[in-house]
């Protein structure tokens, strides 16, 4: 897990313990996605109160790899207010750290959906972080799997298919601004965004 994600969970630890019931779908989703093991499930369920169960989960998550934070956000379907707050805080932290390039991109460009050419240019510059980005944009692991199955021999085609799927699903809400924010949340170099928009 990235340092700013760990910091975010630590900063909001008490609030998360008050707001979340992790005993049900949250933990099961994280187990399904391979973030938690059976031992982790047992450790969490052994805690007496819901707050202590949440604390135990928050202790475990930072040790579970780079996809743990994105999977945790995905697990919060029953708690959209918590998920949205964490996403907003994450974006603020990212913008403070790197200075958002969205400040120098004209508003009319940010409001449009990225073109096929821009998506292809972006895909040519991304690596394995593309999965985290499309998950942040709202695609599921099943959507990613479908893209990989449809284009087994081309990572570039998998990425393009995923971003086009996002654009088709969200329609006018699939804006360049939303894409830029997701790229920043995944700590993509801002020069990649500039290259995409050339």
State the residue for tokens 């958002």.
100
- Contact call for residues 177 and 185 (beta carbons, < 8 A): no
Which range of 5-9, 107-111, 130-134 scores highest in mean pLDDT? It is 130-134
Task: Give the Cβ contact number of residue 114 at 10 Å.
Answer: 23
- Rg over CA atoms, the chain: 18
Token code pair at residue 128: 């394995």
Specify whether the CB–CB gap between 64 and 35 falls below 8 A: yes
The CATH number of the domain holding residue 151 is 1.10.533.10
Secondary structure (DSSP) of 124-166:
HH--TTHHHHHHHHT--HHHHHHHHHHSTT-HHHHHHHHHHHH
Domain limits at 79?
3-88
Consecutive H or E run containing 81: helix 80-98
Q: Which residues of 4-15 are buried (b: 16+ CB within 10 A; e: fewer)?
A: bbbebbeebeee
25 pLDDT more than 60: yes
Do 177 and 148 lie in a common domain? yes
Q: What is the pLDDT of residues 105-121, one digit of tens each?
A: 677 777 888 889 989 98
Q: Specify the long-range contacts of residues 154-159, CB closer than 8 Å, at least 24 apart.
A: 156/120, 156/123, 156/124, 158/130, 159/122, 159/123, 159/126, 159/130
Quote the number of domains for the chain: 2
In this structure, what DSSP letter does residue 114 have? P
Mean pLDDT of 18-22: 79
Residue 95 lies in a domain: no
Is 64 a member of any domain? Answer: yes
**Residue 100 binned pLDDT confidence (cut-offs 50, 70, 90):** very low
pLDDT in tens, 55-75: 999 999 988 888 898 899 998
| Separation of alpha carbons 13 and 32, rounded Å | 24
Residue 83 shares a structural domain with residue 112: no
For residue 60, what pLDDT is reported?
92
Encoded tokens for 54: 């949440």
Q: How confident is the model at residue 167 (pLDDT cuts 50, 70, 90)?
A: very high
């Amino acid at each position: 897990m990235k340092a700013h994600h760990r910091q975010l969970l630590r900063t909001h630890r008490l609030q998360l313990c008050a707001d979340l019931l992790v005993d049900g779908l949250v933990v099961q989703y994280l187990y399904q996605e391979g973030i938690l093991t059976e031992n982790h499930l047992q450790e969490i369920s052994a805690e007496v109160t819901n707050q202590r169960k949440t604390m135990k989960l928050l202790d475990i998550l930072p040790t579970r790899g780079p996809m743990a934070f994105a999977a945790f956000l995905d697990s919060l379907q029953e708690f959209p207010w918590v998920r949205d707050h964490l996403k907003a805080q994450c974006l603020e932290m990212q913008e403070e750290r790197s200075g958002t390039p969205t400040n120098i991109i004209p508003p009319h460009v940010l409001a449009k959906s990225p073109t096929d050419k821009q998506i292809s240019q972006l895909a040519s510059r991304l690596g394995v972080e593309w999965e985290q980005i499309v998950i942040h944009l709202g695609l599921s692991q099943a959507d990613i799997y479908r893209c990989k199955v449809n284009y087994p021999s081309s990572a570039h085609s998998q990425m393009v298919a995923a971003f086009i799927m996002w654009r088709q699903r969200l329609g006018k809400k699939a804006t360049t601004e939303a894409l830029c924010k997701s790229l920043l949340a995944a700590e993509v170099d801002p020069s990649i965004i500039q290259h995409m928009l050339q």
